[in-house]
Amino acid sequence: MATLQDDTVRHGISDDKLTNAGSTGGVRQLLAAWQDETPTALLVLADGTVLEGIGFGALGEAAGEVCFNTAITGYQEILTDPSYLGQIVTFTFPHIGNIGVNDEDIESLSLAAKSGANAVIVHAKVTDPSNWRATRSLDQWLKARGIIGLSGIDTRALAIRVREKGMVNAVIAHDPDGRFDVEALRAKAAALPSMDGQDLVPVVTTAQRLDWDETSWVLGEGYGRREEAKRRVVAIDYGVKRNILRLLADRECEVIVLPATVTADEVLALKPDGIFLSNGPGDPAATAPYAVPVIKDLLDSRVPLFGICFGHQLLGLATGARTIKMTQGHHGANHPVKDITTGKVEIVSMNHGFAVDTGSLPEHVRETHVSLFDGSNCGIALTDRPAFSVQHHPEASPGPQDSHYLFDRFVDMMDAQKAAHS
């Protein structure tokens, strides 16, 4: 059996994994059965490595940067998170798709298929869904959205490859007849541009103003609607997730979502009590030329400002800090982050391939959060402006609500500012 270092890996399964699975006969039999099937999908890495597997979802080809996600739940939210645009998501948890999909767990504002992950890789074959909320299978859902899936891959071995050598570009192809021009796919994978320098925000940002009043999901009730509004928040959409907006609406905020190309004057004309900078895909330094001047003007207005993920990185750039490309990034729902201001350690959801360089933070910016995995920056606050941001996703609720206090901090900051002015 081949390994990931060889040119072609039959169904992406290595000798070591087969050996380790020997104590569980069911796993060994499953892998052996896959070996008898004709490969119907390929993952072709930029270094020429070809991984064979069984395709599901849409037919055709897709390209992107391969990353891995260690979460064991929430795959539908992950696949519809606009921050994953341009990436092929590999799940290390083997059983993805077994609870199906529904119409409620979509995170992108846009209903367009190309507003989330480019493709998905899983280990085990996708089974029929078994969950009371499921409305269809993952396979059906991916087909409808035009997203390719690949199963039968040794996803943990692929994750190790990414961890040791960094995120790699790749092309994924699905043909039910197993007919592939491997050399052409290798050439396409090798020619893909790096995520460095890519501004992907225009693909996912809203085209016009959107007024948001949907509140969080409640068992037996579904999503609600905000009634009273005590604060007005303008959210700049670089690829915002719906649940961020819901948590703001929960806190009696009127939420106005504006495109990423909005000007500071357009934002301030709405007389917001607070400004939110959203998550999003791509290289923040590539979005900075049009986003950072706006953020600088908004900071000068001294309206309270809060940023998450991509918005955190843009805030860092606006203060004069730098952002850096990470080797493997952070993608998962079990990341420990320490809030330096309180000493509290929280379990958070992460999804980013770039980070704010702690060593580049100017004097008027203090670090507020740090990753306990690798010490990378996970939060900042300005000392001369009412503004702060975090790298992780508090709305994703992995703790499950360890980080919801950040929305309360934002509300308290807005209320304090309003009280001071009155």
Amino acid found at 410: F
Chain centre distance of CA 44: 23
Amino acid found at 33: A
| Residues 132, 119, 372, 394, CA torsion sign | negative
> Residue 232 contacts by C-beta under 8 Å, 6 or more apart in sequence?
253, 254, 256, 270, 271, 272, 273, 274
Instruction: Write phi, then psi, for 307 (nearest 5 degrees).
Output: -130, 150
Contact 265, 304 (CB under 8 A): no
Write out the two tokens for 256.
Answer: 């106005």
Q: How far apart are CA 49 and CA 152, in angstroms?
A: 16
Q: How far apart are CA 243 and CA 248, in angstroms?
A: 9
Catalytic residue among 67, 174, 253, 309: 309
253 classed as catalytic: no
Burial of 343 (0-12, 13-18, 19+ CB in 10 A): exposed
What element of type H or E holds 336?
strand 323-339
Write out the two tokens for 315.
Answer: 């805030």
Q: How far apart are CA 88 and CA 333, in angstroms?
A: 18
Q: How far apart are CA 116 and CA 141, in angstroms?
A: 13
378 classed as catalytic: no
Pairing of strands 305-308, 274-277: parallel
Complete DSSP assignment for 151-206: ES--HHHHHHHHHHH--EEEEEEE-TT----HHHHHHHHHHPPPSTT---HHHHS-
254 classed as catalytic: no
Contact 260, 298 (CB under 8 A): no
Which positions are annotated as active-site residues? Answer: 309, 393, 395
